[in-house]
Structure 1
């Protein structure tokens, strides 16, 4: 199965593409890298297709879902941290994605001011922007790229035996290889956890990829969790649904349940890579599942 091709639409950027908030004394900016069209049947791969399709209809979701690409910029302790970097040009048929260089500029962020990048994992829609010369040519020479040692080792020779990946295995392999070669000198591998800047901590979770990580931002008694791909569309209210993009589907489910329980208990702000922009919200318990409560839009 292949990802759907998109038709070209003019004036892509006449849409909201950035949203600012604060966690205590730390500035956080969510930026949209656009969206990818993803067939809905990559969701709920472990449930009956009729049940899955009925659940999607109840949520007014089409057969092809706009899969948001959210990245985050954090300012803390004199450092500017980019969390994930979008898809760049790694999926050229996805004409509404790969907007990061343009949208950083629109947000007033000079790529040369970025001191650190955190890659939650080494999939093309999270590291592709770093391979895009529109962005890479503007990055500073002493950039530090933080990614788990586990993911680095895995993506040297990735194993796709546990998933289908919608037919994009070759793109994932190619992007990973280019990324690991291009950023050999800038990589700062971590094992389990690393504080990138005051109050900004990246933590290995595994599941989606063996070295998948989440980022927590904490300041002044407030906290935000960027969950990467641990939670995808419908993943809050149907947390036991597996999807075709998880390398370790059962472990990914355990990770997702753990993160959602934690977010429900703390009431913290919560966002993820592929939830609809700006993705910011809170998680509430709803029986054996959860529900997502979007944060009030602060005009």
Structure 2
């Protein structure tokens, strides 16, 4: 199979000069009842396709990627964060990978894109960290970011997540060997920088009117999802509970999951919930803007992306 033709950089170079602005949209907003939600792309993380399906054969994996005209060896994982406004509260969900990882040159855009969108970081009242992997806390670790945030910003992290990263267990993960040390470093840096701002919670926490977080576990012991529920409408940001391959193959395990079997149960429950209620789902690693409905099929699930409202 030939290499993928999805190469954005040459296309941009052909249309605009450096510094002329982004020609590919990097943010998309929806209103859920009285609450505004904006998904923001942090970029993409090129990673081995083998990490998307550690419990299936190479042939099965290749069939899925071939069917989507994607390379067999490397896959561009989307990386998305979210910004939520409820009343006077402005809530950031995750922060992207940051700028501390030279091998992720096409990600780490979140903080810049927030400021480009006119979002003053000092206006953020709350931050929810779905889990403490580097692509979710890294943006907060960037030099100068803490100084731009308000001193009393509330950072909500599950207590089980904080405890896990004191001595993390990678025995059930299947990652490139360079990744675990980077994950440890990013989590430790995050806790060191923001220890006075971290507000731990057990199972659920109400962040603002219509906005709450709940622990699911699976991907990491303290992994949580964020529910936006207002005026009979709902959207759930599911963090890393769901990857691109999982709608067709919910039982495919991901190499970054610390409890692979548990994560299968978590995502099936989230899929069933979304399918039964008709609520929207958004995710960190589903193609931007990652917002859509979930429908059940005979063999699994089908993701139905929102129709972009121009």
Q: Is the 8 A contact 1:232 1:274 kept in 2?
A: yes
Give the deviation of 1:48 after TM superposition: 1.5
> How has the CA–CA distance of structure 1 residues 7 and 177 changed in structure 2, closer, same or farther, with 3 Å as cutoff?
farther
Q: For 1:161, what is the secondary structure of its paired residue?
A: coil
- For 1:207 and 1:89, the matched residues in 2 are separated by 27
Q: Is the 8 A contact 1:8 1:95 kept in 2?
A: no
Corresponding position of 2:45: 36
Compute the displacement of 1:14 (Å).
2.9
State the TM-score, normalized to the length of structure 1: 0.95
State the 4+ residue runs in structure 1 displaced beyond 6 angstroms.
6-10
Secondary structure at the residue paired with 1:234? helix
Please name the residue that 1:85 is paired with: 95
Give 2:254's match in structure 1, choosing from 239, 243, 263. 243
Q: Is the 8 A contact 1:42 1:243 kept in 2?
A: yes
What is the aligned counterpart of 1:18 among 18, 22, 27? Answer: 27
Give the superposition deviation at 1:134. Answer: 4.4
Distance of 2:204 and 2:98 partners within structure 1: 27
Of 138, 141, 145, which residue of structure 2 is paired with 1:135?
145
1:297 matched residue in structure 2: 308
Establish whether residue 287 from structure 1 lines up as the match of residue 298 from structure 2. Answer: yes
Q: 2:191: which partner in 1?
A: 180
State the SS of the aligned residue for 1:189.
Answer: strand
Judge conservation of contact 2:236–2:281 (CA < 8 Å) in 1. yes
Partner residue of 1:217?
228
Q: Which residue of 2 aligns with 1:111?
A: 121
Q: Distance in 1 between matches of 2:212 and 2:61?
A: 35
1:230-285 CA distances to partner (integer Å, 9 max, x unpaired)? 00121111110001010000000000111001111111111100111101111000
Cα offset for 1:7? 12
> Is there any run of 5+ residues in structure 1 with no aligned partner, and where?
1-5
Q: Report deviation, 1:165.
A: 1.9
Residues 192-251 of structure 1: CA deviation (Å, up to 9, x unaligned) = 000100110100000000100000001110000000000012111111000101000000
Do the aligned partners of 2:54 and 2:174 also contact (CA within 8 Å) in 1? Answer: no
**Distance in 1 between the 2:22 and 2:258 partners?**
33
Gaps (5+ residues) in structure 2? 1-6
How many residues end up aligned between the 2 structures? 294
Contact 1:79–1:115 (8 Å) recurs in 2:
yes
Counterpart CA distance in 2 for 1:7 and 1:235 is 25
Number of the residue aligned with 2:64: 55
